[in-house]
Amino acid sequence: MPKTTIELPALSREAHLRAETVNEAARTVEIVWTSGATVRRNRLFQDAIDEELSVDPDAVRLERLNAGAPFLNTHRAGSLESVLGVVEAGSARIENGLGTATIRFSERAEVEPVFRDIAAGIIRNVSVGYRVHRYDIEKRDGAPELWRAVDWEPLEISAVPIGADPGAQVRSDDQTEAHSPCILTRQETEITKGNKMPKNKKAGGDTTEARSEEVEVQTRTTVQTPAPEADTRPDPDAIRSEERQRASEIMTLCRRHDLDTLAADLIGRGATLDAARAEILDKIADADPLQGRVHEPAPAMARGNGDADTAYREAVAGALLHRHNPASHELTSDGRDFRGMSLIELARHALERHGHSTRGMSRLELAGEALGTRAAGAMSTSDFPIILANVANKTLRQAYASSPRTFAAWARRATITDFKPVSRTQIAGAPDLEKVLESGEFKYGSIGEGKETYALATYGRIVAITRQVLINDDLDAFTRIPSAFGAAAADLESDIVYAILTQNPTMADNKALFHASHGNLGTAAGVTETALGEAYRKFGSQKGLEGRLISILPSYIITPPGARAIEARKQMTQTTPSATADVNTFAGRLQVIEEPRLIPSTGNDPWFLAADPSRVDTIEYAYLDGQEGVYTETRSGFEVDGIEIKARHDFAAKAIDWRGLFKNAGV
């Protein structure tokens, strides 16, 4: 039997959870990790094979499983976070043709959802990763070769969303033992001249000894026939096998270095493996923009702070942010290396860091090169556009986050997954309960509902950073301007929300938000005890869609700054009265919110009351799911010589229910 040693990657097969064996207290579950079933596997550029795992206890190496092999998240072996649990020591065994084991789950908080889903039967699929050390290969007429694993080793078990494809191999760069030697033993029968024997059969008295491709062939036979003449004709099967091996190795090498086009050319030309390797190395060298150049490493790189590019960019950005606003941005140890450097000096440093010579360049050329130079197949050769965009983005978002938005206290926040119109339903309370007489019947009731509809809108602007900014060392151009855009985005939200109060839009029932029919419009007055008493009375008179009184009281009083705010604060302040008539009856009952957007262009200052948004809907404001706040994108300038930063904001607001709002026009 010829033997061949090949490098084989780790493989995977579908395994089976026994959900009924979940032990909540011990956090364990049993699995069947092999039944020895035969599965079909596909090989690159080669014929498919049938693989069978022997379930003979002597054929399976259980040491890894019984030593506490990991239970992983989808075969990810690259980080500790992927470990969901462990195979209980000594629980892996082969009995009655089945391989079984017990999995114990970690008590980490992030693992709990997976354990709960397995216990509930939501996650049902698991997969076992294993390595084969030896296959016995049997050729079969009219069927793929049978590869019987007679020495194999389970490595780990994983929870997977879909049962493992039996024909797929698990190839992962995260696995430190991705490939290992595997011995292939093929069963063959020697053919003698004038007495051809069918494969996999033996004639009486004829025996075939094992031979290896790496040692001299030895044959012993009792058939007395002349020695066969040497067959000098080429073996077609061997030629096809060598060609498949050559093509496979060339494809693997080229894909590793993103040279798929070259792979087809090398295979088509019939290049040998040595010639192909030489051409691939030449291509890699030609594509390297730093070939033959020597440059001084950046200080952040020299210290090896994690990823060199990220550390360098963060250090320079930190130095620029400290220069822009020392009180808000502390200078880091890496950032001190760039303290005091002008923008044009930082641009020069970024170019030279990537091996780009700046000798003899004017300031204008240097600025243009730092903002726009490209190498074949890569973005700018300088880190500078990324650094400038990083600084601009941080100042923009910091300004957005720090800008006051007074509506957040009394309005309800939501997220929307897309830009389609969304409906917010006003659901009435349950119908009144009716008395049921003896032997009487229960009657059906119904719950009414109303609906308000709105959709997200997109707002945005573009900020440009040009060569002139670098030449003039104008730091404010990409710190204060983006900061102003961030504040403008926050102000836009307040404009949209408070416009609902001031413009009094029409609701779904074709009546204005504040309307006598809605019972939320008071008699024009200042913030007085009498006016507040009227407002509380109207809140207490509100009814749900089913017509029954609902218990809603205001929590916030919203006024423009000035006389109305002073009146409100006086009513809400605790005092020590000298007589009963002087008691401040509304002291501490409402939170005062002052908003300049409520100052009217003409007429009297109005004031408003709002209920707690967790008790009843008032005004709802919404962001796009996953992009809450200002979202920025950067590109090298097309309309300008420099880079452009686009600030985009997806936002909307809508009055959902009038029952939680009240308006007094003021006097």
Largest interatomic CA distance in the chain: 135
According to the model, what pLDDT value does residue 535 have?
A: 94
CATH code given to domain 400-430+447-476+485-575+585-667: 3.90.1690
Could you tell me the CA-to-CA distances from 327 to 323, 331, 401 in Å, in that order? Answer: 10, 10, 17
Is it the case that residue 377 has pLDDT exceeding 50?
no
Q: What are phi and psi of 9, to 5 degrees?
A: -75, 170
The CB density around residue 553, as the number of other CB atoms within 10 Å, is 15
Q: What is the CA radius of gyration of the chain?
A: 38
Q: Considering only residues 17 and 652, tell me which one the structure prediction assigns the higher pLDDT.
A: 652
Measured between alpha carbons, how far is 129 from 134 in angstroms, rounded to an integer? Answer: 16
Is it the case that residue 225 has pLDDT exceeding 70?
no
Is it the case that residue 259 has pLDDT exceeding 70?
yes
Of 131-145, 155-169, 356-370, 622-636, the one with minimum mean pLDDT is: 155-169
Strand duo 11-23 + 93-95: pairing? unpaired
Strand duo 46-53 + 83-87: pairing? unpaired
Q: Considering only residues 641 and 510, tell me which one the structure prediction assigns the higher pLDDT.
A: 510
At 611, list the tokens: 């209920």
Q: What is the DSSP string of 183-205?
A: EEEE-----BTTB---TT---TT
Average pLDDT over residues 612-632: 87
Domain ranges of the chain: 3-186, 239-287, 299-382, 400-430+447-476+485-575+585-667
Query: How would you classify residue 194: left for phi > 0, otherwise alpha for psi between -120 and 50, otherwise beta?
Result: left
State the average pLDDT for the chain. Answer: 76
According to the model, what pLDDT value does residue 426 have?
A: 64
The 10s digit of each residue's pLDDT in 121-140 is 888 888 888 888 888 888 88
Measured between alpha carbons, how far is 382 from 369 in angstroms, rounded to an integer? Answer: 8
Residues 538, 522 contacting (CB under 8 angstroms): yes
Of 227-231, 409-413, 514-518, the one with minimum mean pLDDT is: 227-231
Q: Which amino acid is at 465?
A: I
Query: How would you classify residue 629: left for phi > 0, otherwise alpha for psi between -120 and 50, otherwise beta?
Result: left
Closest to 56 (Cα-Cα) out of 150, 137, 147, 128: 150
SS3 annotation, 358-389: CCCCCHHHHHHHHHHCECCCCCECCCHHHHHH
The 10s digit of each residue's pLDDT in 264-302 is 778 777 788 888 888 887 777 666 443 433 333 334 333
Give the number of residues written for the chain: 667
Range picked from 86-100, 249-263, 340-354, 522-536 for highest mean pLDDT: 522-536
Confidence class for position 445, pLDDT limits 50, 70, 90: low
Residues 206, 222 contacting (CB under 8 angstroms): yes
Is it the case that residue 51 has pLDDT exceeding 80?
yes
Measured between alpha carbons, how far is 149 from 135 in angstroms, rounded to an integer? Answer: 4
The 10s digit of each residue's pLDDT in 310-344 is 888 888 888 888 877 787 788 888 888 888 788 88
Q: Is 542 helix (H, G, I), strand (E, B) or coil?
A: coil
Is it the case that residue 206 has pLDDT exceeding 50?
no
Measured between alpha carbons, how far is 145 from 147 in angstroms, rounded to an integer? Answer: 6
The CB density around residue 31, as the number of other CB atoms within 10 Å, is 22
According to the model, what pLDDT value does residue 481 have?
A: 73
Is it the case that residue 303 has pLDDT exceeding 50?
no
Q: What percent of the chain has pLDDT over 70?
A: 76
Average pLDDT over residues 541-553: 81
According to the model, what pLDDT value does residue 192 have?
A: 39
